[in-house]
Amino acid sequence: MTDLELDQLLTVHWPRVVRRVMADGSDEWLKGFVRSITKHSKRATWRPSSKQEQIMRRLVAEVDTAPEQEMELIER
């Protein structure tokens, strides 16, 4: 993964991954993984391992292909 790809993944796609994982009742391991990547990615010298990169790419792909959840309209 190039620096540009990593930057795009973390700034454009990762916030959506975080919101989806934290909101959809995912297992604790996945929530911990997402939190860990978010925390460590703040360090300028951090790079994901090849395994982390694979999981990150899979999560982004899943968020991009998942249907948007329908919003519930609350009337006043």
* Domain range summary for the chain, segments of one domain joined by +: 3-63
Write down the residue that tokens 């790419």 correspond to.
57
- pLDDT for the residue numbered 69: 60
Indicate the pTM of the whole model: 0.78
Is residue 37 exposed (0-12), middle (13-18) or buried (19+ Cβ within 10 Å)? buried
- Smallest CA-to-CA distance from 19 within 58, 74, 55, 68 is with 68
pLDDT of 74 > 80? The answer is no
Fill in the amino acid letter for 71: M
- Cα–Cα distances in Å, from 59 out to 12, 28, 33, 66? 13, 15, 11, 10
- pLDDT for the residue numbered 56: 95
Fill in the amino acid letter for 34: V
